[in-house]
Chain A
Amino acid sequence: MEDFLREFHQRRREEAMVERGFAAWWKRLGEWMTAPGAAKWAYGAGAAYAAVMIAVVLLPRQQEVVSPPTQDVEFRTLTPVETEPVQQLEQLDLRPESEGKTGEQVF
């Protein structure tokens, strides 16, 4: 009976010590964070970034979208060809040096 009580109290003390240790650690952390100091923002940001990256790495990924098979398409690049302007004579002048009107003609 005495052994049982001793063991019971010993287990209670160990649990109390564990609880006090974690609470004390959390308390010290809170006090440290609330204390003034610019370096603490950098630690906080780094911790937040690390947490996000851990989440990104550890979270299960969605199934990748499989693209349909592509088809080979033949294509060619068309280069505009410079064409000579087409002339029309106003009069029946067949001399080589005679000029005509080019472009849109009105009739």
Chain B
Amino acid sequence: MSSVLIRCLTALLAALVLWAPGRALAGDLLRVDFPGAHGGSIGFSVAGGGEVLTLGPAAAELRKGVLRLGAETAKVLAVDPVSRVVVFRGVPGPVRGFALAERSPSGGLLALPSGGGRARVEGPVERIDGKYLPFTLLKLRYGGESAVRGTPLLDAEGRVAAVALQASGGGAGLAVPVEVLARTLGEARRNGRVSRARLGLSLDPSVPVPRVRRTLEGSPAARAGLQAGDLLIEIGGLRVEDYGDAVNAFFLLRPGVATVVRVRRGAGERSIEVVPERGEP
């Protein structure tokens, strides 16, 4: 009797969790074309400024993106050639916008906004074919058909937790985490363009541990007191354990915004505040 009750409660709880993202959409989905590129992308409006975010096919095509709004087209506000995130100017008139989640999940289920299925988050992806990515992606396993590029993937509260990047076969796919979207959108809103944060330190990808190889003379890292041989432990609140973690943490830093880098030097640990300078994207 008790087992039947437990099963019923579990099924009810699962139904509630899975049903939540399937409610009425909080934002608008739009079609974005990139002339010359194969296939288009899905764009989605964002709460707060009404901008439309999407992922482009390749860096060379990003500026050519066309967002059609009936007879009108929206202009590109900013692009990030590294992540391929494209930000279109705010759509005129009242729009419904998706809220962005604070951070991407490391597991669990995400929902496609069209009610077309769900995807399970299988974990982070730092390397593909032996190459480190410029930031960490999410690996997904779709329950049905894989999502079109740019499709927002929603958490249980209907917030965007990731954006579909591409399918990788066998029902698997890759997605860009919301941290990357938030960083790009924040840079676009503040500066009208996207730039990189530069510390001026170097790491060696052939060494598994994130140890500083050297600091460039006069760089923010050198001025703050970071030294060659320092083992990076935490960057901007993100725990780093290997080279891929450090690369991802560096990508999310913002120029001009002070951040704390925690390092192990000798037998002790110390926290060093660094203000990254603006670099080219």
Does A89 lie within 8 Å of B213, measured CB to CB? no
**Which residues of B have CB within 8 Å of A83?**
206
Whether A91 lies near B82 (C-beta < 8 A) is yes
- In chain B, positions 57-80 with a C-beta closer than 8 Å to chain A are 58-59
When distances are taken between beta carbons in the complex, the residues of chain B under 8 Å from A89 are: 131-134
Contacts of A81 in B (CB 8 A): none
B interface secondary structure, majority = mixed
Decide if the interface of chain A is mainly helix, strand, loop or mixed. loop
Which of the four size classes fits the interface of chain B?
Answer: 20 to 34
Q: How far is the CA of A94 from the CA of B176 in the complex (A)?
A: 13
Query: Please, which residues of chain B bring their CB within 8 A of the CB of A98?
Result: 131
B166 close to A (CB within 8 Å): yes
Looking at the assembled complex, report how far the CB atom of A76 sits from the nearest CB atom of chain B, in whole angstroms: 23
A85 touches B (CB below 8 Å): yes
Known A-B contacts A92-B84, A103-B204; A87 and B130 likewise in contact (beta carbons under 8 Å): yes
Q: Which of B215-251 contact A (CB under 8 A)?
A: 216, 246-247, 250
B199 in contact (CB, < 8 A)? yes
A107→B134 contact, CB < 8 A:
no
Known: A88-B247, A90-B82, A105-B202. Contact between A100 and B132, CB under 8 A? yes
- What 4 A-B pairs are tightest by C-beta distance, nearest first? A86-B205, A88-B132, A107-B250, A87-B131
Which residue numbers of B lie inside 8 Å of A, CB to CB? 58-59, 81-84, 128-135, 165-166, 174, 176, 198-206, 213, 216, 246-247, 250
